[in-house]
Amino acid sequence: MKLVVRVIEAKNLPPTDPNGLSDPYVRVQLGKQRFKTKVVKKSLNPKWDEEFCFRVDDLKEELVFSVMDEDKYFNDDFVGQLKVRVSDVFDEDIKSLGTVWYSLQPKNKKSKNKECGEIRLSIYFSMKNASVHSDSSNSSPRSVEEITTSKDEKSCTQKTLASRIAQIFNKSSDVPAIISDRSLDADQSEKNKDGVDEIKTEDPSSNDTFEEAMRKLQSVDQGSEIPSNLPGGVLIDQLYMVAPEDLNTLFFSPDSDFPKSLADFQGTTELQIGPWKFENGGESLKRLLTYTKAPTKLIKAVKAFEDQTYIKADGKNFAVLASVSTPEVMYGSTFRVEILFVITPGQELPSGEQCSRLVISWRMNFLQSTMMKGMIENGARQGVKDNYDQLSSLLSQTIKPVDSKDLGSSKEQVLASLQAEPQSDWQLAVQYFANYTVVLTFFVGLYVLVHIWMAAPSRIQGLEFAGLDLPDSIGEFVVCAVLVLQGERVLGLISRFMQARAQKGSDHGIKAQGDGWLLTVALIEGSNLAAVDSSGFSDPYVVFTCNGKTRTSSIKFQKSDPLWNEIFEFDAMDDPPSVLEVEVYDFDGPFDEAVSLGHAEINFLKANISDLADIWVPLEGKLALACQSKLHLRIFLDNTRGGNSVTQYLSKMEKEVGKKINLRSPQTNSAFQKLFGLPPEEFLINDFTCHLKRKMPVQGRLFLSARIIGFHANLFGKKTKFFLLWEDIEDIKVIPPNFSSMGSPIVVVTLRPGRGMDARHGAKTQDEEGRLKFHFQSFVSFNVAHRTIMALWKARSLSPEQKVQMVEEESENKSLASEESGSFLGLDDVSMSEVYSCVLPIPASFFMELFSGGELDRRVMEKTGCLNYSYTPWVSEISDVYERAIYYRFDKHISHYGGEVTSTQQKSPLLDGKGWLLEEVMNLHGVPLGDYFNLHLRYSIEDLPPKAKGCRVQVFFGIEWLKTTKHPKRITKNVLTKLQDRLKVLFSLAEKEFLTK
């Protein structure tokens, strides 16, 4: 029997973040079968409308619905849950509970938040030829169909090699399929054959033309950000000589012939394109495509369903997310391929033509966990790459791509076209002095002069004498005081005007000198700058800072939308700059404190240089955010040294710090840039294996380059990745070895206040002033790593005088060869294979005492040849998931070289609660080539039936290669032999200890 669950929507969910919103999704579980809905961003009343199909073997089981809130940096938060017995559904006459609102319950009675919201579900049994499912909530009736696979097709599939491999890793070949509502509606011909009725509903939005739909989306778009590229990688990044709206029409208009031409070009058949329809109250525009993919050498022709959704359309920028499902392929119900199309305006061409930038990226979205994840992702990567290589080829035949030579000369032409606003000093003076204060002072002064001319001289009286005429009344005294104050204000305005005109930009027009990285900034204009004067305007000027050097613009008087058209050049730098700081001030005299109107930071490591050729930079700060202030800039960064810049930079670094630095291969640099999303000019200097110390140590790799220090780890499928700028580091200290660091010194990196906030998930602590501190330990070669880190930090952040002093202090150490050579790997998941399996006559609970951290754990580890064994307590970071770190040294019987091991273990109960799953990542130190790989182990301990009285233990093993080596098979064989011998001893000792006890 098949149980169909439809998760429709929820309401009144409690907020879990400070903004009062959540990113909810639903986990649905029946026994060992688990599914997950999509994540709805920033909503307390989310709508999912997704269906899942479960195989029912026992009516006593319970359906468990868990509403969770996604957290990017920490564990997902629990919102509420609901449990429904399968027998309650089966006992109904129509085998259905209908569509009902259910109240969510807290996880336990001690929870503070009792109100968890409500969720709307539809639960029913699906049987062959069942036609109608009633809706108790006045919803439109829905047709139900049981998705089955023919016996002939199933038997044929099981004969393939892929299915045999799959059966080894996953015993349940009948994986439940996720049913998509729109997929069921698209395959109407098969529904009619099974006698299923379809109730058609007319959607008035489908009658809108594509142009009208775009206009509606543009009115709904409230300045949302352009989505970033998906983590799977960029498939296409190219400029085309076409307007963005025309390129959008070519790809997604129902009247466009391009999708059909692409289908013919790729061999795709049975293409059916559904109409665009508005959903969620007109906020999102979606359509469905169905087609049959052409067969390849690996797979046969398969049916594919593609959902396309507009996530941005403001008339100039367009972003469409396509989600492709292929349920007919092996494990097709466990994943979806997501493709993101982003169309943005490109930089202006010298010919004046419009151009568009097309960026297509992708990722794999696994709906449920599977041990075939690595194989599926690798196969999908190659297939997606081939498809979009064909798309790029066909698109180039339809629309002319922009040649890089055309853009090369655009810088000079763009800068030559800039002309400063022609205004004489008299025009500026009239504009500046045309205000109420000056006009009032002028008329009052004129009035006084006329009065003096018409009035007769008064006689001398009181304390007056010849030449001194004092006020004769309080009124005259007040008038004199007002005249003096007004005169002082006017004189101040005249002084400010003269000083500002003398400044005119302290370095405007100065040409850059030297050979290297040349930074050119064109300041075009400003928009909506904050007003700090009573006149409702300001006198803004801009200060640019890069690598400690500043450039200042001229002052624009009485402007809220000033026009500059000024060009600034920075002297050539030996290494590429990291950050350009922009600050806008209001001029208030040379000796008064300038008022900041806003600031911005342009990070060259996170931005594409081509995107900076024409950008509007939003300003930050209280005044700027309130007025939504922006600056229009054109930024160009060129390397006048060509391809030798890397070699020259390394040579200069060696002379400055007295250390030998080896040049990495292009393949290694490319992998490094792809890992952290860095521009092509960034190059890797060295990388080291180490631990990142947080609540628990995380084994990973530390990467050092000219501008950043980065860390990457992939532990138990959870990835940790971030990087820091050398300029953001305030201090680097070393903590001596202690027990908590497993006998290794700790490098503590402290950032400046408020810097590196996007990497705070990797920080150990944060002090009261906002300084983040990162702890790195367990380096294979601590001295090499520490000296390299210190050299790069000092060379990047210290002044030339401090660098010379550092070189003199370290002149004795003239060279230092890197002990960590080879290119790094480890970016993909580790493939595991079973290496040992046995049945022990002991319960699983006793076997787990070997890893409990008690006396039995220590005694058994010492008997297996592990010396100086130490461990940390088990710590729970996620519900029912515990982690600990262990340390020991090898006995001479295990390794002739001795060596040390730092290991991280994670344990969690099996789904049925009758056993445990223990995973371990081992890092070897002091063993030849030990820093080239990590060892991954997985113990599956499961209780046997009560009559058997024992447990079954399966051990899986895999190697994560961190660097390339010429002897991978030899190393694998040696490690596997030692591991199997150790497992035999371990299991025999466990059995003896149980019998003795």
Q: Output the domain CATH number for residue 587.
A: 2.60.40.150
Do 252 and 319 fall within a single domain? yes
Do 777 and 838 fall within a single domain? no
When pLDDT is averaged across residues 562-576 and rounded to a whole number, the result is: 83
How many distinct structural domains can be found in the chain?
5
Q: Is the pLDDT of residue 591 over 50?
A: no
Distance, CA of 381 to CA of 650 (rounded, Å): 35
Q: Decide which of 200 and 464 is more confident.
A: 464
Report long-range pairs for 486-495 (Cβ below 8 Å, ≥24 apart).
486/437, 486/440, 486/441, 486/444, 487/441, 487/445, 489/437, 489/441, 490/437, 490/438, 490/441, 492/589, 493/432, 493/433, 493/437, 493/438, 495/589
Handedness of CA 221, 224, 230, 233 (dihedral sign): positive
Q: Is residue 432 one of the residues assigned to a domain?
A: no
- For 555, the 3-state DSSP assignment is coil
Q: Decide which of 535 and 565 is more confident.
A: 565
Distance, CA of 242 to CA of 680 (rounded, Å): 26
Q: Is the pLDDT of residue 96 over 50?
A: yes
**743 Ramachandran zone, left/alpha/beta (phi>0; psi -120 to 50):** left
Domain end marker among 812, 846, 870 = 812
DSSP conformation letters of 473-513: SHHHHHHHHHHHHHHHHHHHHHHHHHHHHHHS-TTTTPPP-
What confidence tier does 132 reach under pLDDT thresholds 50, 70, 90? very low
Distance, CA of 460 to CA of 937 (rounded, Å): 110
The answer to whether residues 712 and 960 touch, using CB atoms and an 8 Å cutoff, is no
Do 839 and 982 fall within a single domain? yes
Kindly list the distances between the CA atom of residue 794 and the CA atoms of 139, 389, 797, 801, 802, in Å, as whole numbers in the listed order: 67, 44, 5, 11, 8
Kindly list the distances between the CA atom of residue 734 and the CA atoms of 368, 422, 744, 790, 900, in Å, as whole numbers in the listed order: 43, 59, 10, 11, 21
Distance, CA of 419 to CA of 815 (rounded, Å): 52
The answer to whether residues 9 and 45 touch, using CB atoms and an 8 Å cutoff, is yes
Q: Beta partners for 269?
A: 292
CATH of the domain at 765: 2.30.29.30
Q: Report the pLDDT value the prediction gives residue 305, as an integer from 0 to 100.
A: 92
Kindly state the DSSP code that residue 925 receives in the 8-state scheme.
Answer: E
Q: Which two tokens stand for residue 365?
A: 């979205």
Q: Report the pLDDT value the prediction gives residue 442, as an integer from 0 to 100.
A: 82
Q: Decide which of 819 and 344 is more confident.
A: 344
Distance, CA of 471 to CA of 454 (rounded, Å): 18
Q: Report the pLDDT value the prediction gives residue 722, as an integer from 0 to 100.
A: 93
Number of C-beta neighbours around residue 795 at 10 A: 20
Can you count the helices (H) and strands (E) in the chain? 22, 43
DSSP conformation letters of 650-679: HHHHHHHH----PPPPHHHHHHHHHHHT--
Q: Is residue 977 one of the residues assigned to a domain?
A: yes
Q: Tell me the residue ranges of DSSP E strands in 351-462.
A: 356-366
Indicate the burial class of 75 (C-beta count within 10 angstroms; 0-12, 13-18, 19 or more): exposed
Domain end marker among 125, 146, 162 = 125
Q: Which two tokens stand for residue 922?
A: 């081992």
Do 620 and 513 fall within a single domain? yes
- For 883, the 3-state DSSP assignment is strand
Do 785 and 860 fall within a single domain? no
The answer to whether residues 90 and 123 touch, using CB atoms and an 8 Å cutoff, is no
Q: Is the pLDDT of residue 460 over 90?
A: no
Do 865 and 796 fall within a single domain? no
CA-based nearest residue to 533, from 579, 481, 597, 469? 597
Q: Is the pLDDT of residue 128 over 50?
A: no
Which amino acid is present at 120?
R
Residues of the domain holding 940: 833-995
Distance, CA of 333 to CA of 816 (rounded, Å): 53
When pLDDT is averaged across residues 686-702 and rounded to a whole number, the result is: 86
Average pLDDT, the chain: 77
CATH of the domain at 987: 3.30.530.20
φ/ψ of 282, rounded to 5, equals 85, 10
Q: Decide which of 818 and 418 is more confident.
A: 418
Do 863 and 788 fall within a single domain? no
Q: Is residue 185 one of the residues assigned to a domain?
A: no
Which of 314-323, 488-497, 703-712 has the weakest average pLDDT? Answer: 488-497
User: What does the pLDDT look like over 911-969, one tens digit per residue?
Assistant: 777 888 888 888 887 777 777 888 889 899 988 887 777 888 999 998 888 777 777 88
In terms of average pLDDT, the best of 411-415, 534-538, 941-945 is 941-945
Helix (H) or strand (E) holding 273: strand 269-273
Do 655 and 527 fall within a single domain? no
CA-based nearest residue to 40, from 11, 70, 5, 13? 70
Q: Is residue 165 one of the residues assigned to a domain?
A: no
Q: Decide which of 80 and 639 is more confident.
A: 80
pTM of the model: 0.52
Distance, CA of 613 to CA of 345 (rounded, Å): 11
Distance, CA of 108 to CA of 169 (rounded, Å): 35
572 contacts: CB under 8 Å, gap ≥ 6: 512, 513, 514, 515, 516, 517, 518, 640
- For 348, the 3-state DSSP assignment is coil
Do 861 and 797 fall within a single domain? no
User: What does the pLDDT look like over 470-486, one tens digit per residue?
Assistant: 777 788 888 888 888 87
User: What does the pLDDT look like over 916-925, one tens digit per residue?
Assistant: 888 888 888 7
Q: Is residue 853 one of the residues assigned to a domain?
A: yes
Tokens 């109904």: give the residue.
Answer: 92
Q: Tell me the residue ranges of DSSP E strands in 528-651.
A: 540-546, 549-552, 563-573, 579-586, 595-603, 615-618, 630-639
In terms of average pLDDT, the best of 250-264, 371-385, 426-440, 775-789 is 250-264
Q: Decide which of 614 and 175 is more confident.
A: 614
Indicate the burial class of 639 (C-beta count within 10 angstroms; 0-12, 13-18, 19 or more): middle
Q: Is residue 783 one of the residues assigned to a domain?
A: yes
Q: Report the pLDDT value the prediction gives residue 599, as an integer from 0 to 100.
A: 92
Helix (H) or strand (E) holding 648: helix 645-657
CATH of the domain at 249: 3.30.530
The answer to whether residues 26 and 65 touch, using CB atoms and an 8 Å cutoff, is yes
The answer to whether residues 609 and 637 touch, using CB atoms and an 8 Å cutoff, is yes
Torsion of CA 536, 500, 633, 678, to 10 degrees: -120
The answer to whether residues 507 and 611 touch, using CB atoms and an 8 Å cutoff, is no
- The per-residue b/e assignment along 329-366, b for 16 or more CB within 10 angstroms, e otherwise, is bbbbbbbbbbbbbbbbebbbbeeeebbbbbbbbbbbee
Domain end marker among 639, 657, 685 = 639
Distance, CA of 547 to CA of 570 (rounded, Å): 9
Q: Report the pLDDT value the prediction gives residue 773, as an integer from 0 to 100.
A: 93
Q: Is residue 932 one of the residues assigned to a domain?
A: yes
Q: Is residue 440 one of the residues assigned to a domain?
A: no
When pLDDT is averaged across residues 760-764 and rounded to a whole number, the result is: 89
Do 879 and 866 fall within a single domain? yes
Share of the chain above pLDDT 90, in %: 11
Distance, CA of 424 to CA of 427 (rounded, Å): 5
Do 746 and 853 fall within a single domain? no
Kindly state the DSSP code that residue 918 receives in the 8-state scheme.
Answer: E
In terms of average pLDDT, the best of 61-65, 646-650, 931-935 is 61-65
The answer to whether residues 714 and 798 touch, using CB atoms and an 8 Å cutoff, is no
Kindly state the DSSP code that residue 874 receives in the 8-state scheme.
Answer: -
The answer to whether residues 954 and 940 touch, using CB atoms and an 8 Å cutoff, is yes
Do 885 and 975 fall within a single domain? yes
